[in-house]
Each structure stands twice: as structure tokens, then as C-alpha cells.
Structure 1
């Protein structure tokens, strides 16, 4: 437990019900102790603890996670950190990850578009998607100028990656 980190997150207004302040490496080590399990991951995701939610993204069996699950879990990502952990630990490994990213990027919801941009960026960085197949769209370019910081950040990073290749 890291009280300083936890206090800092609380002071910054992060809406976790409970936060122990564990860093990602400690959580990753803890995650290796458990066998991936749908029921365990689902139970952890439903908790209001930052650490439980992050562990859930590590422990959900990748072959059991559906697009409907992804849509549902996305609504529970109320911080950029949770969205990043969901994309990095789980979504990028799914066989339908690119399809999911494209669907979310075309959604009217800013949260879904932001998640789609982040997921496609992860896929490009992990070489699980090809930049040539994913040109920057008009909507993506528009989102680079959004008032929503997270949307603007994720769209801008993706556009930079797509145009750099």
C-alpha cells in the first residue's frame, strides 16, 4: 500500500471508492498468483477499488471476453488509467480488437471514440494492426481539436502514429 500515491489520487479528484495506491508492477505481480477466471474478474471489476478493477483486466480469460463485455466494461472506465489498463491488459489481445476499435471510433459517444482511438493505437504499437489499413478519418481529425482532453489526446496520438508510418 502506498498512502502517498493514494492520497495524491484522492486529492486530484479521481473517483475511486477505495484506492490503495499500488503501482502497476505490484499489481502485475499479484495478478500472476491467480489463474484467469471469468467469475473472479467480473467480481473484481464490480468493486469500487482501483486495484480490483485493474486486476480484473489482467484476470479475465481472453478467450471468454465478448464484444458485449467490452462495451459493458467500457462504461465502467471512469478514468484514463482504467481505460489504458483495459486496452493494454485485455482488449488488445482479443481476436476482434481491431473491429472493436473501428466500431468505437465511429460511435457518437466521445468516451467510445476515445477508447477506439486508444485501442487502435495500442494495436499499431504492438504490430497487431497495419497503419496502411487505417487512414485518419475526418471525424478523427475533428476530435484532435475537441474540448474533451482525453478525446483530443487519444485522437492526436493516433493521428501522429498513422501519419508517421
Structure 2
């Protein structure tokens, strides 16, 4: 792909920019004003184009990076390239999509999970926790679930926001998916009180772990 193509895509994204939406997104750490449904429509039209995806990522523009993650080939990125991309991912949505849409599909997912989990940068560490959550649910064999609860119990209360959110999600997921540890997960959540007062929209489940665990278990056990 040529630079002209990148320029054309950037112009299209600029045309989709909405000032009011940007103002809302900026409150959540995302500096873009493009409707995600419209962004996905652009990605659907462009189809998979890994070279264009690389070029869009290099623009350092949040909307362009989100688009790049939708049109890339996840398995085409090298291990060090993904590590660099994560550390470059300023916006929360870019960070989230990179982990969930790309890294989870990479052959380096487990290697990066272990490395990021222990990283001193709390934002990078939160990616390690996000990948750990995936294993808690899908492939818990080999994970020290009780040890994860130990870390959560000791560190979640004072963790920076994004890392705290990931730890809290892991706590809830352990409680939901592993009945033998559910009582301890509930107890940790109740004692720490993390996100207990988080504003939750009507019809949505609170991220407060005891409420989250209880509601998801109820749904699993209630006949359809």
C-alpha cells in the first residue's frame, strides 16, 4: 500500500470525527471522536490489509490505530513488535483492542502474558492480567489460582486504576468460574470494597466483585 492510501484513510477518519463524541471519549482516556460502528464499517470495506494496518499504527492517531487493529493479521506480528505496540498504546481503547483482538490470537500470547504480568509498568502489567483472565476461564490448568488471589488480596486495593480494574476482573472471574475458590473471592471483594460505589447504568451488572460474581453465577444456574 502507498502513503496516498494512508492519507486517504486518514482523511476519511477525519471526516467521521464528531466533537461531542470526542468530548465523551476523552473522559475515558480515549482521544478520538469516531463512532465505533462507523469505524468497523470502514474496516469491513478495507478488509484485511496488514501492511496498511502497520502504516496506520505508525500515525499515532487513536482512530487510525483502532482501525489498524481491525484490519491487521494478528499472527503476522512478532513478539517484540507486539511488546513495543503495547507500550506505545496510549489510549485505553487501543490498549484493550490490542490485547483482545490481536495478542490473544498471537502465538506469543502466553509468553507475553508471563512477561507483562510481572512488568513494573502498571499499564503493561494490566495487559498481563487481562491475558491471565482469559486463561482463568478457558485454560486454567497450570495457573496458581490461589496464588493469584494472594496477589489480588495484597495489591489490588492500592493499585493504579487500569491495573486495579484488571485485578478486579480476575478476582470476579475466579469466583465465577471456580466454585472451590468462590467463597474466598467473595470475601476478598467484600473486605477490599474495590469499585463498590462505581456508578452502574440500569440493567448493567456492577463491577463490584461480590455483586458481579453473585449475578453471573445466578445466571448460570437459573434455567432459561
Could you state the TM-score of these two structures normalised by the residue count of structure 2? 0.62
Whose helix proportion is higher, 1 or 2?
Answer: 2
Mapping of 1:31-46 within 5 angstroms?
A: 31-46=43-58
Q: Is the 8 A contact 2:28 2:92 kept in 1?
A: no
| 1:131 and 2:131 are equivalent in the alignment | no
Q: Deviations over 1:62-107 (max 9, x none)?
A: 2211111111101121122111111222111112213321221122
Deviation at 1:50, TM superposition (A): 1.8
- Residue 129 of structure 2 is matched in structure 1 by 117
Cα distance in 2 for residues equivalent to 1:65 and 1:73: 10
Q: Deviations over 1:100-138 (max 9, x none)?
A: 21221122221221111123324556x3xx234322434
- Residue 75 of structure 1 is matched in structure 2 by 87
Cα distance in 2 for residues equivalent to 1:74 and 1:94: 13
Structure 2 CA distance for partners of 1:50 and 1:119, relative to 1, 3 Å: same
| 1:159 and 2:168 are equivalent in the alignment | no
Q: Is the 8 A contact 1:131 1:162 kept in 2?
A: no
| 1:84 and 2:96 are equivalent in the alignment | yes
Q: Deviations over 1:25-45 (max 9, x none)?
A: 222221122243332112111
Deviation at 1:149, TM superposition (A): 0.8
Structure 2 CA distance for partners of 1:139 and 1:85, relative to 1, 3 Å: same
Could you state the TM-score of these two structures normalised by the residue count of structure 1? 0.81
Any unmatched runs of 5+ in structure 2?
A: 1-15, 178-224
Structure 2 CA distance for partners of 1:83 and 1:67, relative to 1, 3 Å: same
Mapping of 1:7-22 within 5 angstroms?
A: 7-10=23-26, 12=27, 14=29, 16=31, 19=32, 21-22=33-34
The structure showing larger relative contact order (alpha-carbon pairs under 8 Å, at least 6 residues apart) is: 1
The structure having more radius of gyration, on CA atoms, is 2
| Bigger mean CA offset, 133-142 vs 145-154 | 133-142
| Bigger mean CA offset, 31-40 vs 68-77 | 31-40
